[in-house]
Structure 1
Amino acid sequence: MKRKLAIVLLLCLSLSLVITGCGSKDAATNNNQATDESWQNIKDQGYFTIGLDDAFPPMGFREKGSNDIVGFDIDLAKEAAKRMGVEVKFQPVVWDTIVEELNGGNIDMIWNGLTITPDRQKQIAFTKPYIASHQIIVVNMNSTLADKKALAGKKVGVQAGSSAIEAVEKDQATYKSFGELVQFDNNVDALTDLASGRIDAVVVDEVVGRYYIAKKANQYKILEDNFGSEDYGVGLRKNDKAFLAELQKALDAMKADGTSAKISEKWFGEDIMK
């Protein structure tokens, strides 16, 4: 009798522990869902703020004359915000501190030709990629440089905090052969110094580089060599899962109904959306 009673008590205790454990997991899950008020907070304030480099054509830049911030990513962001039922504001920031600005709460997202890299994925969350690009090498039209090997001993410009730096550093043999890696506040300054002969080449996102070069076709050329491919995504704080889900929903709808393709054609003359 005592043995049977002990078995019954043991079974009851085991069942109690299982129920308690499941309850704790459910409570933790519900608590996490309940505490993610990222999207609700955006709806309550009526807008979200995008951090960007405002000298990054064609993704985001100041329009001559009006000084308004315009660009491919700007149009995408405005359309997404409209579908989400909120407004969007744009906040220029120093690019090499932009992740800190996001995680510090000074901006709500980064939407500005942001390359998805392993290092950034450790710090922030991303939407699905929306564009594929490369890190291209730009030189002056009269340059005799023909490939990456020719960059040995040369001054090569990049934008500070950009994925161009990571791309170059991955190719250690080429990187170590540089005479100097010169960092600039933005790509426009780098290309200006290239034109003036203060540096020998610029490594830049293909989307940005081709757009800028098309406007000065007699000044620059692009080498066949490059420093690899990459994807662009929109960056948000890791804890803002509800906000990210709502944004992704809008982006998916824009792709499905052809709106993002039309915006791409406006800026690039073709649909380059991924």
Structure 2
Amino acid sequence: MNSGGALRLFILALGAALQPALAETSRLDAILSAQVLRVGTTGDYRPFTALDKTTGAYSGFDVDMAQALGAGLGVKVEFVPTAWPQLSHDLQSGTFDIAMGGVSVTLERQKIGFFSEPYLRDGKTPIARCADQERYQALSEIDRPDVRVIVNPGGTNERFDRAHLRQAQIVVQPDNTTIFDALASGGGDVMITDASEARLQAKLHPGVLCAIHPDRPFDFAEKAYWMPPDPALKAFVDQWLHMAIEDGDFDRLAAKWLR
């Protein structure tokens, strides 16, 4: 067989091998076909996502960004409730199309899904009652047997605490919506959380809770949008996010919620 015939056979074989993959519908195609973007969000992480249990309405930076993404896709947005301990399971089971709500980029999460380009640099920092803030400047000052570190379960805050604290008492507060009120009233001595959340909660509890060196967090982290491993959907989300940043929509919402 000459080289031309061999090449034709190779092309035919390659086309046959690729045909099933090409025939598969991408998650992006499914969203456009259904005319609905299902957004998984916990509703318990201000300033990114908060659920009003009376009205059932969500608000926050990533809630507004989700609506903007839906508008970019030309589809309706449906918010799907989830929780930090089950976020990975819900992503893998197809409960939603994308997770939005202050989701931190981690290698464990990257193993099972795609992250968008990051939109916020963050990191873990302490927050405590203002009267005690000088006591908890360093991890070594926090990691003492007499210190109660309050934490919400199932997310990167708990993972950070259990990786870095050996002596401190880790007090798990199941309801993330009340955890800062509990801290303010003495339910714990300090919390280690994302600098963005620490800044907001200090504003919401003026003179009571103080964010401790949020400009110098203990570690490096980024926020991004997390979705099943669908290249077409990721490409669209990345392009939409890039355009939102460049045309000023992102800054407008950031000024409202993050600054």
Look up the match of 1:202.
191
How far apart, CA to CA, are the structure 2 residues paired with 1:258 and 1:48? Answer: 23
* Counterparts of 2:17 and 2:61, CA distance in 1: 41
Q: CA deviation at 1:259?
A: 0.8
Q: How many residue pairs end up in the alignment? A: 253
Query: Residue in 1 aligned with 2:83?
Result: 94
Aligned to 1:227, what secondary structure does the other structure show?
A: coil
Residue in 1 that maps onto 2:222:
231
SS at match of 2:126: strand
For 2:159, the equivalent position in structure 1 comes to 166
**TM-score under structure 2 length normalisation:** 0.88
Equivalent residue, structure 1, for 2:148: 155
Residue 181 (1) aligns with residue 170 (2): yes
1:192 Cα offset (Å): 2.4
Could you say what secondary structure the match of 1:176 adopts?
Answer: coil
Q: Give the letter aligned to residue 121 of structure 1.
A: Q
Q: What SS does the corresponding residue of 1:217 show, helix, strand or coil? A: coil
* Identity between Structure 1 and Structure 2 (%): 20
Structure 2 CA distance for partners of 1:184 and 1:32, relative to 1, 3 Å: farther
Q: Could you say which structure has the larger radius of gyration?
A: 1
Once the 2 structures are TM-superposed, how far is the Cα of residue 18 of structure 1 from its aligned partner? 5.5
Give the corresponding residue for 1:133. Answer: 122
Partner of residue 256, structure 2:
266
Q: CA deviation at 1:66?
A: 4.6
Are the aligned partners of 2:126 and 2:136 in contact in 1 as well (CA < 8 Å)? no
Q: Which amino acid aligns with 2:195?
A: E
Q: Which amino acid aligns with 1:263?
A: L
Q: Return 151-160 or 210-219, whichever deviates more.
A: 151-160
C-alpha distance after superposition, 1:49-86 (max 9, x if no partner): 11111121111113587552111001111011101111
How many angstroms does 1:247 deviate by?
Answer: 2.1
- C-alpha contact (below 8 Å) 2:161/2:170 kept by paired residues: no
1:53 correspondence with 2:53: no
Q: In 1, distance between residues paired with 2:123 and 2:210?
A: 15
Counterpart CA distance in 2 for 1:208 and 1:218 is 16
Is this contact kept in 2: 1:39–1:242, CA < 8 A? yes
User: Any idea what SS the aligned residue of 2:236 has?
Assistant: helix
Aligned: 1:244 with 2:244: no
CA RMSD of the aligned region, Å?
A: 2.3
Shift of 1:182: 2.6
Displacement of 1:19: 4.7
Among 110, 114, 117, the residue aligned to 2:103: 114
In structure 1, C-alpha distance between the alignment counterparts of 2:64 and 2:141, rounded to whole Å: 39
Where in structure 2 are there 5+ consecutive unaligned residues? none
Give the letter aligned to residue 116 of structure 1: V
- Identify if the C-alpha distance between structure 1 residues 159 and 28 changes in structure 2 by more than 3 Å, giving closer, same or farther: farther
